[in-house]
Amino acid sequence: MKLEKSKLIGNKTIQISGSKSISNRLLILESLFSNIKIVNLSNSQDTQLLKKALSTETDTVDIHHAGTAMRFLTSYYSIQEGKTTILTGSGRMKERPIKNLVNALQNLGVEIEYLENEGFPPLKITGRKITQKKVDVPANISSQFITSLLLIAGKLENGLEINLVGEITSRSYIAMTLDILTKFGIKNLFTENTIKVESIINQSSIINYEVESDWSSASYFYSFAAIGRKTIHLKSFYKKSTQGDSAIADIYENFFGIKTIFTEDDRKLTLQPIEDFQLPEKIVLDMNNCPDIAQTLCVTAAALKIPFEISGLGTLKVKETDRLLALHNELKKLGTETEITDLTIKSIAFKETEENISIKTYQDHRMAMSFAPFCLIKELNIEDENVVEKSYPMFWKDLEEILNSN
């Protein structure tokens, strides 16, 4: 997709669909407890794939690129007593590690086999009744592994106690899961490195849950506002959000001068540039609790030529692609030289941009969307633009509302 060099149109309002993270958690709980009515479900491809998988009666389930679905369904199928399921996905999915989650489930008594490579999908899962109550899980792995276990915990006869070993990664996503469980009357307690979830036997009354819009998707509009210095309105968001990526509001106010103003009655937020804001000499930030918005921040900083040093990014290497390597490669096209480690990315020089910028997306939706705001600086091409369907199918259409290429 070719994005012309554009100007930002101020005071436009964008309605973003429900959070993918929240929607996917709710779908698992809905399938387990059947007393949930979900409003504003995410229209993302990931969520639709998970919804389809939960309704299928086939023995083989292919979730393609949907990493969240792979992790959540691994635990879900583990407690479907007497049912054997083969859970598979795309070529990239078969390269994404799942051993720590499988180990935890096996230690709880579940029968899971690797069908190709040890530690990676596809999996053959034979559902069983889990009666064991305690399990140790490494804390520095993807929070989705931990959430996967938490979502089934209330359905287990004796509940579940998870001991997180080591330093916890993406704590905010675990907190989001526990908040959702609490709203459904599933008692839980998170103290130090131990999470306890009680079993819930009777869950009869219908619970309505309106899904807050997705803060990860909102992050791209923060980038547009920061580069284009115009006001943008977004719906529907909560001031007290449980989404870890809501950290974007403070980050962009502190480093880019974009103030977030909430209108409580219609759940609208306004991204308003602060007049005469002085950009920082350097951005130094630990994004351990919100790694999914790191790409957006790096592109914004590159567009404004602000040196940056971002840490806490260990999970980015095992996403849809190695996001740190992808960032390193593609930022170079914008004239930003970087150094990367397994945990960090740091700018080392700003040079001239390439003449004909074409951004590879590496089958990663966030690469496409995070680089799009650079069109306010220079024309660029986004390769394989359809990858946005994974999380934000309406992205390119929504951009038409806020951009003027004339």
**Residue range 46-75: average pLDDT?**
92
**Residue range 265-269: average pLDDT?**
82
180, with CB counted inside 10 A (0-12, 13-18, 19+), is buried
* CA–CA dist 326, 336 (Å, integer): 13
Q: Are strands 2-3 and 380-382 parallel, antiparallel or unpaired?
A: antiparallel
Q: Residue 66: pLDDT band by 50, 70, 90 thresholds?
A: confident
318, with CB counted inside 10 A (0-12, 13-18, 19+), is middle
Find the length of the chain.
406
Q: At what angle do helices 395-402 and 215-228 cross, to 10 degrees?
A: 30
* CA–CA dist 364, 369 (Å, integer): 9
Q: Give the model's pLDDT for residue 318.
A: 63
Q: Give the model's pLDDT for residue 320.
A: 63
Q: Residue 368: pLDDT band by 50, 70, 90 thresholds?
A: very high
Task: Choose from 162-176, 264-278, 295-309 the range with maximum mean pLDDT.
Answer: 295-309
Catalytic residue of the set 292, 322, 364, 398:
292
Q: Is the pLDDT of residue 315 over 80?
A: no
Is 266 a catalytic site residue?
no
User: How many other C-beta atoms can be found within 10 angstroms of the C-beta atom of residue 194?
Assistant: 12
Q: Give the model's pLDDT for residue 319.
A: 64
Lowest mean pLDDT among 199-203, 253-257, 316-320, 338-342: 316-320
CB 152 within 8 A of CB 76: yes
* CA–CA dist 392, 345 (Å, integer): 26
Q: Is the pLDDT of residue 115 over 90?
A: yes
Lowest mean pLDDT among 109-118, 138-147, 219-228, 368-377: 138-147
Nearest Cα residue to 57 out of 37, 77, 29: 77
Q: Give the model's pLDDT for residue 236.
A: 87
Buried/exposed code over 344-355 (b: 16+ C-beta within 10 A; e: otherwise): bbbbeebeebee
Q: Give the model's pLDDT for residue 224.
A: 98
- DSSP annotation of 9 reads P
User: In the chain, what percentage of residues exceed pLDDT 90?
Assistant: 77
Nearest Cα residue to 221 out of 10, 60, 21: 10
**Residue range 369-389: average pLDDT?**
96
Residues whose CB is less than 8 angstroms from the CB of residue 163 and which lie 6 or more positions away in sequence, other chains included: 134, 135, 136, 137, 193, 194
* CA–CA dist 371, 220 (Å, integer): 9
Q: What is the largest CA-CA distance in the chain?
A: 65
**Residue range 329-351: average pLDDT?**
96
Q: Give the model's pLDDT for residue 39.
A: 87
Nearest-10 Cα torsion for 370, 374, 375, 377: 170
Q: Give the model's pLDDT for residue 137.
A: 93
Q: Is the pLDDT of residue 406 over 80?
A: no
Q: Is the pLDDT of residue 251 over 70?
A: yes
Q: Is the pLDDT of residue 202 over 80?
A: no
238 vs 76: which has the higher pLDDT: 76
Q: Give the model's pLDDT for residue 124.
A: 97
Q: Is the pLDDT of residue 203 over 80?
A: no
Q: Give the model's pLDDT for residue 272.
A: 98
